[in-house]
Amino acid sequence: MTESEPERISHPEHDHNLCIRNAISVAEQLCLSRGVQLTPIRHKILELIWNSHKAVKAYDLLDQIRPVNDAAKPSTVYRALDFLLEQGLIHRVESLNAFVGCHCSGTQHDQLLLICTACHTVEERAAPAVLSALGTELGDAGFVPQRKTIEIHGLCRSCKSVSAAASEKADKH
C-alpha cells in the first residue's frame, strides 16, 4: 500500500477502523486471487491482530478467540498464524514472540520494525536506504541472508511526548 502514511500509524487519533477495513479487504482479495482460503478462523485471527497496532501474542489471541469459538485450540491458532505469515498478511516480531498486521500486505518483504517498549505499538517502515546499506554490508561479508527484519526497541512518538511532558512536570516541582 504505497498510499499509506507510516507517520500516521503511531498517532493514536488516526481512524483505525480504516486500517482494519483496508487490511481485511486486501486479505480477502489476495486470498481470492491466489486461490487460497481465508477460512472463518483465519479471518477472525487476522481481525484480532488488527484490533490495534500493538504486537499480540499467540496465547492472547487464543484467549480472545475462545468466547466465539470454544473449539479453538492452540494448534488452531498457530496454524492460522502460519497461514497469515505465509501469505504476507502479518509479521512475526521475533524479539517479542508476537504478531502484528502488515499494512503493505501481499508480498514477503524486508522491513524495519520500531517497537515501543511502553505501549507495544509496532510501526513498520520500508526503510529502503537502511536495507540497501545493510544489503551492501552483507554482500561484503559474503553472507546470504534468508530474511532481513530489523527490530528496534524504544519509545514511539506518542509515548515519547507523554514521558517528555511527565519529566517537564517533575522538573517544575
Residues of the binding site for Zn(2+)? 116, 119, 156, 159
Nearer to Zn ion, 85 or 159 (CB): 159
Among residues 16, 5, 29, 19, the alpha carbon closest in space to that of 106 is found at: 29
How far is residue 153's CA from residue 145's CA, in Å, rounded to a whole number?
22
Helices 40-49 and 58-65: crossing angle in degrees, nearest 10, is: 120
> If binding means CB under 5 A, how many residues of this protein chain bind Zn ion?
10
Longest dimension (CA), the chain: 63
How far is residue 166's CA from residue 50's CA, in Å, rounded to a whole number?
30
Annotated binding site: 110, 116, 119, 156, 159
The answer to whether 104 and 127 are in contact (CB under 8 A) is no
Q: How far is the CB of 155 from Zn ion (least distance, A)?
A: 6
Question: Which string of x and - marks every residue 19-58 that binds Zn ion (by CB under 5 A)?
Answer: x---------------------------------------
Q: Is 72 in the site for Zn ion (CB under 5 A)?
A: no
Q: Which of residues 92-131 bind Zn ion (CB under 5 A)?
A: 102, 104, 116, 118-119, 121
Interface residues with Zn ion (CB under 5 A)? 16, 19, 102, 104, 116, 118-119, 121, 156, 159
